[in-house]
Structure 1
Amino acid sequence: MSNVISVVQAFDRALIREIPGDDDRALEAKLAAAERALRERNSWLEPHRRGAILQRTASLLEAKQIHFAELIAREGGKPLTDATVEVIRAIDGLRNAAEELRHFGGREIPMGLTGASEGRWAFTTKEPIGVVAAISAFNHPLNLIVHQIAPAIAVGCPVIVKPAVPTPLSCLELVELFREAGLDERWCQAFVTDDNALAERLATDPRVAFLSFIGSARVGWYLRSKLAPGTRCALEHGGAAPVIVDASAKLDRIIEPIVKGGYYHAGQVCVSTQRIFVHTDVLADFVERLAARVKSLRVGDPRLPETEVGPLIHPREADRVASWIHEAVEGGARLIGGGRPSETTLVPSILIEPAADAKVSRLEVFGPVTCVYGFRELDEAIDVANSLPFAFQASVFSTNIGPALRAARRLDASAVMVNDHTAFRTDWMPFAGRRQSGYGIGGIPWSMEAMSQEKMLVLRYDGLGLET
């Protein structure tokens, strides 16, 4: 341990705790311990023991639900009501991983289909892929960690998890709960560093068989290009999620979900609603209703139960988002809302018709901003929605089945929500970015598949002494 990392509250930058950072010697020790756990097959845990540890950890987390929610609100800036939901999801995610083990197995491979395959019986079994390195993001500092390490523990992979520098505390305390639940340290270790070179060494070490990365596309795709031969990976990045509002949509019912999708956690969500395409027949009414609801959002200290929108994670992120808003307004967009009550807090804003080349139209904002554009023809809106080099989740609001299905079929997205916001997710559904937005499929059952590998056994019983 060579340096100290100061963890501060996202809202007011007040110090929460100082923690020791890991150095290169600590990284080597953790990798060696993980590799040793994998190599010593007699120490592998049976599925029932892995499942029991996951269930016990879920119960321990449930007993500390209030504590973890407050910790998420402090270090990550997520409003307390949403932080509470995150803890509930994390508890459920641990149990999902344990329960998935009941269905997690191989399959029979047909034999006897040709003369050459007679007298044989073949089937597959599941084995852990190897050491997992998990590099996580700040915006869901508990639940993202669960999504990365619970599948690894479930399938029997040793896992080393690096939390985001601003939000390590939820991760460290969760790892301690696994210890309390009976998991040997070698099977789940936290690696805390603010040294990007060390993080890269973790990801690219040849002893790592699988990299789980959640964060920026620039870093994720770079790390993928540097992985050791044979290392598999899953990358989860972000996008600029589109919503299409058809002329038939009931405006009194859609404003609330759209606001939730756009301003939840101050827009710091990889599938946050960002680009809203509204049919011109209802555009003026939609903007009026959206503006009224956005202006009523309660902004402030995330620890207060009434807060709906909290801070951004760092002052430089508030600077960046504010500069993008300014650029859009300078380029002709109309601004509704806005303002900066503190160095990390932005008042939610709406940009009406920003230019196509504005950053807010081309890039992921990751802040409390939505952009509204009018359209006349549905295919025109779909073409613009599909025009960016990344794609994740999308939405269409309509009471007519024709436009809803046409948009659902033609939007370039891994998931299309009909009459719901783009940020909807359950933890057992597949979750994946397309193109530059990601690689591989997340979601606990899918991650378990990715972190395992099949081995086929072929038994020849014809004439070789095996009786049937």
Structure 2
Amino acid sequence: MTAPRPLYLAGRPQATGATLEVFDTWSGERAAVVNAADADTVERAIAAAHDARDAMAALAPYARRDVLEHCVRRFLERREELAQLLCTEAGKPIRDARGEVDRLVDTFRIGAGEATRIGGEVIELQVSARARGYRGMTRRVPVGACSFITPFNFPLNLVAHKVAPAVAAGCPFVLKPSERTPLGALAIAGILAETDLPPGAFSVLPCNAAVAAPLVEDARIAMLSFTGGPVGWDLRARAGRKKVTLELGGNAACIVDADPGRPLEHVAHRLAFGAYYQSGQSCISVQRVILHRDVAAALVPLLVQRVRSLRAGNPHDEDTDIGPVIDTASADRIEGWVHEAIDAGARVLVEGRRERTLITPWLLADVPRECRLYREEVFGPVAMVETVDSFDAALDRANDSRYGLQAGVFTARLDHAMRAWERLDAGGVVVGDVPSMRVDAMPYGGVKDSGIGREGVRYAIEEMTDTRLLVIRDP
């Protein structure tokens, strides 16, 4: 039997004696065994990160850049290996897995550039006579030790969006990846361990939520960044005085105006991509498609045709579009919500089927707005179509959600695009495409129950640094 893969404690591989099993999401067979952290390991990791604050802050910007550039080179060398890890532990179709590795590279490359651009500003303080002779300037300084908690659905890139900015900013960190998908995070840790980061600069600890509680509660942690579900609000309540960034998902809407500004075949293609890539297991997956009545009759058949053409199956096959969802409990919940909506009067446009954890695409119409499928985040291969009589009604319907992460708008009218940007209560508005579009340099985060704070490398660096003011009085 192969020895369990080590976790990383204070920058070094470590065996603990406790283990977690990682399963192939498609076959259900055991794919790997990893060392798991216990309470003592978590304590030692926090202490090491706290002790590494000064050394990380003193690391020159060019040295932080060099660490990140080393990671980029190694990710590129191991691209196919990393993609296969994703395919196995997350059930991500291999083409999408390669795309996530490419985004991992992008995120670290962006971080390398930002590491040498963390500046400040000169402030004019002489706004009145009493401030004559005073000069002001600011700089950004790292907050200190950070804790990161990431989910299963993007095991590389969601880790990257915390780790790359932390290294660029000069913050030591402790990362808890999802228990279901720790392999990608451990691979990143192994590459970081090849660099000249100071001792104690990072730890990557697969473990359960109870063991990880000090990552939320310990006062030595200066910032918590969590990506996941509604439990994030409880974590914030337990976090004390530390800074907190939360990305908690959504049930994204995509509006198609009377004149969408794109051929309808293209719109249907993008809607199907946005709704069903990653088996719908994305925080910005298209869940609610809001169509202007003037375009619905022509667009819906094209969307139905496109959805029916998607191939579901073994994620290791090159032509697979949709792989399994993460586990049986998720499949049970998704299936239950769909049938609840149908029983409440929703119409089935494309009927899905289920085999173990594989769910083929569902497309429904006129789902009652009180149904969980409409109100909550389904996080599965399910989308809903509804029609409205005006663009303003579409905006109102998109805002009829307790979530607000991103929204998409297809329109040819500039005034409608600007009105959407003004009125949609979301962290981001994407015009001319689906809300599922994300570039790793852009600010990313939500409002309402979708969370607080922003990721996207430069914006995450702002979250991981504080403004420090210097005032100098002329002699």
TM surpasses 0.5: yes
After the TM superposition, which residues 16-95 of structure 1 pair with which residues of structure 2 at under 5 Å, given as runs? 16-38=31-53, 40-41=54-55, 44-95=58-109
| Structure 2 CA distance for partners of 1:11 and 1:154, relative to 1, 3 Å | same
Look up the match of 1:158: 172
Which among 150, 157, 160 is matched to residue 136 of structure 1? 150
**Is the aligned partner of 1:11 residue 2:26?**
yes
**Is the aligned partner of 1:359 residue 2:338?**
no
Q: 2:235 & 2:142 partners in 1: Cα distance?
A: 22
Which among 237, 240, 243 is matched to residue 225 of structure 1? 237
Unaligned runs of 5+ in 1: 463-468
Give the Å deviation of 1:293. Answer: 0.7
Q: Secondary structure in 2 aligned to 1:264? A: helix
Look up the match of 2:285: 272
Contact in 2 for aligned 1:50/1:153 (Cα 8 Å): yes
Q: 1:36 & 1:361 partners in 2: Cα distance?
A: 47
Q: 2:63 & 2:308 partners in 1: Cα distance?
A: 51
Look up the match of 1:235: 246
Q: 2:84 & 2:31 partners in 1: Cα distance?
A: 12
Contact in 2 for aligned 1:126/1:455 (Cα 8 Å): yes
Amino acid at match of 1:199: A
Q: 2:378 & 2:144 partners in 1: Cα distance?
A: 36
| Structure 2 CA distance for partners of 1:185 and 1:342, relative to 1, 3 Å | farther
**Is the aligned partner of 1:117 residue 2:128?**
no
Look up the match of 2:257: 246
Look up the match of 1:466: none
| Structure 2 CA distance for partners of 1:398 and 1:41, relative to 1, 3 Å | closer
Contact in 2 for aligned 1:396/1:408 (Cα 8 Å): no
Give the Å deviation of 1:402. Answer: 4.1
Contact in 1 for aligned 2:68/2:164 (Cα 8 Å): yes
Q: Secondary structure in 1 aligned to 2:222? A: strand
Give CA deviations for 1:366-403 in whole Å, capped at 9, x if unaligned: 00000001111222222121111111111111233344
| Structure 2 CA distance for partners of 1:376 and 1:443, relative to 1, 3 Å | same
Q: 2:349 & 2:167 partners in 1: Cα distance?
A: 47
Give CA deviations for 1:248-283 in whole Å, capped at 9, x if unaligned: 233122011111110110110001101011122332
Q: 1:381 & 1:92 partners in 2: Cα distance?
A: 34
Q: 1:245 & 1:417 partners in 2: Cα distance?
A: 12
Identical counterparts, % of pairs: 36
Look up the match of 1:423: 436
Q: How many residues align?
A: 458
Taking structure 1 as the reference length, the TM-score comes to 0.94
Contact in 1 for aligned 2:56/2:198 (Cα 8 Å): no
Amino acid at match of 1:59: R
Look up the match of 1:382: 395
Q: 1:161 & 1:399 partners in 2: Cα distance?
A: 44
Q: Secondary structure in 2 aligned to 1:420? A: coil
Contact in 2 for aligned 1:2/1:23 (Cα 8 Å): no
Contact in 1 for aligned 2:254/2:288 (Cα 8 Å): yes
Q: 2:85 & 2:386 partners in 1: Cα distance?
A: 38
Contact in 1 for aligned 2:55/2:198 (Cα 8 Å): no
**Is the aligned partner of 1:295 residue 2:315?**
no
Contact in 2 for aligned 1:5/1:18 (Cα 8 Å): yes
Unaligned runs of 5+ in 2: 1-15
Contact in 2 for aligned 1:337/1:347 (Cα 8 Å): no
Give CA deviations for 1:101-128 in whole Å, capped at 9, x if unaligned: 2321121222444444334433222211
Contact in 1 for aligned 2:42/2:212 (Cα 8 Å): no
Amino acid at match of 1:142: L
Taking structure 2 as the reference length, the TM-score comes to 0.93
Which among 415, 427, 433 is matched to residue 414 of structure 1? 427
Give the Å deviation of 1:42. Answer: 8.9
**Is the aligned partner of 1:319 residue 2:332?**
yes
Contact in 1 for aligned 2:57/2:170 (Cα 8 Å): no
Look up the match of 1:145: 159
